[in-house]
Amino acid sequence: TKWVYTFGDGEAEGRQDMRNLLGGKGANLAEMASLGLPVPPGFTITTDVCTYYYENGESYPADLNEQVEAAFAKMASIAGKRFGDPKDPLLVSVRSGARTSMPGMMDTVLNLGLNDRTVEAIAEATGDRRFAYDSYRRFIQMYSDVVLGVEHHEFEEILELYKDEKGYETDPEITAEDWQVLIEKFKERIQEQLGEPFPQEPEKQLWGAITAVFGSWRNQRAKTYRRLNNIPESWGTAVNVQAMVFGNRGDSSATGVAFTRNPSTGEKALYGEFLVNAQGEDVVAGIRTPQNISEAARIEAKSDKPSLEALMPDLYGEFIGICDKLEAHYRDMQDLEFTIEEGKLWMLQTRNGKRTARAALKIAVELANEGVISREEAVKRIDPLALDQLLHPTIDPKATRDVVAKGLPASPGAAQGEIVFDADEAEEARHEGRRVILVRIETSPEDIHGMHAAEGILTSRGGMTSHAAVVARGMGKPCVAGAGSLRIDYKAGTLSAGGKTLNKGDMITVDGATGEVLVGEVPMLKPELFDEFATLMEWADGFRRMKIRTNAETPLDARAAREFGAEGIGLSRTEHMFFEGDRIVAVREMILADDETGRRKALEKLLPMQRQDFEELFEIMAGLPVTIRLLDPPLHEFLPHGEDDIAAVAKGIGADPKKLHEKVIELTELNPMLGHRGCRLAITYPEIYEMQARAIFEAAAEAGRKTGNPVTAEIMVPLIVSKAELDILKADIVAIGEAVEKEKGVTLKYQVGTMIELPRAVLRAEEIAETAEFFSYGTNDLTQTAFGISRDDAGRFLPTYVAKGILPFDPFVSIDPEGVGELMKIATERGRKARPDIKLGICGEHGGDPSSIAFCEEVGLDYVSCSPYRVPIARLAAAQAAL
Ligand code: ADP
Ligand code: MG
Ligand code: MG
């Protein structure tokens, strides 16, 4: 087996499309080398080795060593140096790289190969003793941390003590000789901690680092990240070994990161940061404030530090050329790492850049307009779920802004919540239903769970490419980073700036669009749709086959859904209307009535209210189809529970509390989900559906007259298991329809159909379709009844099923294609046998889930229906499913 792939000097064994084997970083390093870009030589150990390693008790394939040696020799010969050479030693980095980038999750070791001898050689070769010893101590610290498990603070302690002794204020005052002394102290500390010395042999260092990278695939941070991002454990990571280049060799050296387009807004302008005389992660770590790469960005940021464009115009030109080349080659916005060593530019990484949903849309639409990609491709590139980010609130421009501090607008959207300083606390607060803003000096991978739990993130240190910023953008969370004027005191639990001090628990608002931090709960606005969003949606609409409807019962939701592009209502749950205002009184009166006459009297009171509801919905939907589901839940849901409530309600409706109590007991069911609900209510009390049908028809007649748009009403009967049930109920409904037509002198356009939400209905779908004019898959109940799992109780065990791999995902979130999905297919096939043109839709929660939508396309449904805010997601997902 080939375990190792080399790259460098204008050629490579690997390719861009080998990311599964080489990891993203390795595949792209190979590709860049093949493109002739300046990439330091190196090689990639494949993800297969990682898999092998874990499957074989953490050991390596027998022939790996030999392949690594050969690749190493090739790298060394291209670099013109030798590992451990006492004159001109080769130093390398050992870099992790999974298939998809896992920012900050895995560990990289730089300057590997340094030891007591090679450090002297470096000092001599470069004529810079300070550089050499500074590199050596960095390596010792990094290697100890990542490979040996000796924590950073051990060295910080020694360093601080030493600086105090010498009376130094800052690191640059430390001389080469000082570092030499410090390195000896560092090594002593390591010996103390581990009982063995810091490894001096480069070979040993190399294998230590390689093993640490493979080992880090299963560290806690990586596991958390994978869990949150649905990355399978089985993928594994690759390891890249690469010759070092040095950005920290004085003022003609530098290191930086850049995006070929703005990752926040999507604007077509190079966007990046760099530091002169610095190495590797210094830019991201937020220790020094980085400088802008382009002059335009510097001016916009009002920075007084010179740009790369101004400092090194030739190199800037070369860099821009490479950016353009890479963007054209990958046909997407790139995220790049580069280093300049004494005036020579080196590329260290490229990948498709992470971006906000807003930027993703803008970039996709612009790339399509530039002719780089097709419109189909643009539509395919947007993650439907990411659109959620665009539906984030912003701060009301009319609100008074009590600004305490300003940082960088690191991730868009506004968020508000209580101040918390600790990731665990953020998570706890979230569990208690409190909204929080996680406030940190800077964040690290250990804070991920807290960032997830928080509404937004605020840091006092770090740039646009700091950990907080990158991770927040990925999560779609508002983030303000690097608010330098903030003083954060973790111990005291305070945050102060501009003469104000806020405490843990105080409300703040962060504005990821402006970088402002505001005191209190500032009024916010609903998100606004922008041009590229509309354009992409329009393109998507052109590709999709299924219609998108919404689940709505209030005028507010119905209007919002229309604005988001809903093409009708797929589910209007009439029971929700029964709770509005004092309707519940009439509902209870109906339930408490002793006989049909009493019930009819109470229903008489509900009729005008229901008619009003439906009329509004019909008017808003202006001729688009509106599906109204007749009463579904068991009646006891409308009754009070508990002694006090019963007494209060009895008083309110003038009923005898004892009678009310008896009624509550009488209606109590052992298993209400499978009890007297849905159409079963109307089989026993036909007058309930009769009232609702009348309300629908009268409203349809009225709305049709008012708007001039004939109403398309779809009356949906829930919980059907047999044709016989539906025959009875449909006959009642049709009779009412005829009566209303006669009374009003109109012709009504309507259909009577059913939910398919019980397995028996699936099996009898053919005969049910003889009566039903449409089917709507109620996948919530269908999932409950197919699995025999109550959704409300599933939380206790379903996560374990997913964790143990028994189920690939929660079937209440995405349709289980093998079981529930199979049922949908059966019902579709049988239903169509009886009625070839039967209209088919879905109205369960799954209607807003992209993978379920893809499944619905496969089954050939006519529409999906989802909550209003999911409508754009569904439009895009339906288009992708059709492409
Ligand atoms: P991450 O995945 O966390 O970005 P990387 O492997 O990309 O980790 O490396 C971390 C930092 O070290 C980056 O800034 C990278 O550019 C730098 N780096 C990695 N390898 C080298 C090298 N051979 N020479 C110089 N800098 C390097
Ligand atoms: Mg890293
Ligand atoms: Mg990197």
pLDDT digits (tens, 9 = 90+) for 587-631: 988 998 889 999 999 999 999 999 999 999 999 999 999 999 999
Q: What atom in ligand 1 is closest to the CA of residue 97?
A: 2
**Residue whose CA is closest, atom 8 of ligand 1?**
108
Question: Which is the closest atom of ligand 1 to the Cα of 282?
Answer: 14
Mean pLDDT of 38-67: 97
Most ligand 1 atoms within 8 A of CB, residue of 108, 221, 248, 340 to mutate: 108
The whole-angstrom separation of Cα 333 and Cα 350 is: 10
User: Please, which residues bridge with residue 291 across strands?
Assistant: 274
In tens, the pLDDT along 684-705 reads: 999 999 999 999 999 999 999 9
Candidate CATH numbers 3.30.70.580, 3.30.930.10, 3.20.20.60, 3.40.50.300; the one for domain 544-634+669-882? 3.20.20.60
Average pLDDT over residues 571-586: 83
Q: Which of 395-399, 591-595, 710-714 has the lowest mean pLDDT?
A: 395-399
User: Which residue's CA is the nearest one to ligand 1's atom 15?
Assistant: 280
Return the domain boundaries, the chain.
254-355, 393-525, 544-634+669-882
Atom 24 in ligand 1: which residue has the minimum CA distance?
244
Q: Identify the residues whose C-beta falls under 6 Å from ligand 1.
A: 40, 93, 95, 104, 108, 110, 242-245, 280-281, 337, 339, 348-349
Q: Which of 536, 565, 261 is nearest to 377 (CA)?
A: 536
Q: Is the pLDDT of residue 174 over 60?
A: yes
Q: Measure 280 CA to ligand 1 centroid, in angstroms.
A: 5
Secondary structure E strands in 514-558: 516-519, 524-525, 547-551
Does domain 254-355 bear CATH number 3.30.470.20? yes
- The per-residue pLDDT for range 512-570, each reduced to its tens digit, is 988 999 999 999 877 767 899 999 999 999 999 999 999 998 888 899 899 989 999 99
Is residue 656's pLDDT more than 70?
yes
Lowest model confidence (mean pLDDT) among 317-331, 683-697, 780-794, 845-859: 780-794
779 is in an annotated binding site: yes
Binding site annotation covers 757? Answer: yes
**Could you say which of 50, 843, 856, 866 is catalytic?**
843
Distance 353 CA to ligand 3 centre (A): 11
Q: Which of 392, 467, 636, 846 is catalytic?
A: 467
- For atom 23 of ligand 1, which residue has the closest CA? 244
| pLDDT-derived band at 320, boundaries 50, 70, 90 | very high
**Which pLDDT belongs to residue 581?**
65
Is residue 822 part of an annotated ligand binding site?
A: no
Find the 109 Cα to ligand 2 centroid distance in Å: 8
**Annotated catalytic, 467?**
yes
Number of neighbouring beta carbons within 10 Å of residue 727: 14
Q: Which pLDDT belongs to residue 476?
A: 67
281 pLDDT above the threshold of 80: no
- Tell me how far the alpha carbon of residue 337 lies from the centroid of ligand 3, in angstroms: 7
Mean pLDDT value across the chain: 92
Greater confidence, 572 or 400? 572
Q: Which residues contact 212 (CB under 8 A, 6 or more apart)?
A: 94, 107, 109, 146, 147
Share of residues in the chain with pLDDT > 70 (%): 98
The pLDDT score that the predictor gives to residue 691 is 97
Is 562 annotated in a binding site? The answer is no
Per-residue confidence band for 106, with pLDDT thresholds at 50, 70 and 90? low
Closest ligand, as measured to the CA of 96: 1
Give the residue, by CA position, lying nearest to ligand 1 atom 17. Answer: 280
Mean pLDDT of the 313-322 span: 97
Residue 337's closest CA among 421, 444, 247, 463?
A: 247
Give the pLDDT score at 522. 92
d(CA 772, CA 827): 12
| Residue 843 appears among annotated catalytic residues | yes
DSSP string of 658-715, one letter each residue: HHHHHHHHHH--SSGGGSS-THHHHHH-HHHHHHHHHHHHHHHHHHHHHHSSPPEEEE
At 306, the pLDDT band (50, 70, 90 cuts) reads very high
* Topology adopted by domain 393-525: Glucose Oxidase; domain 1 (3.50.30)
Residues 542, 747: contact at Cβ < 8 Å? no
Best CA proximity match to 132, nearest among 142, 141, 123: 123
The whole-number pLDDT of residue 711 equals 93
- The response to whether 662 counts as a known ligand-binding position is no
Q: Backbone phi, then psi, for 64, in 5-degree steps?
A: -70, -45
Residue 110 has pLDDT above 60, yes or no: yes
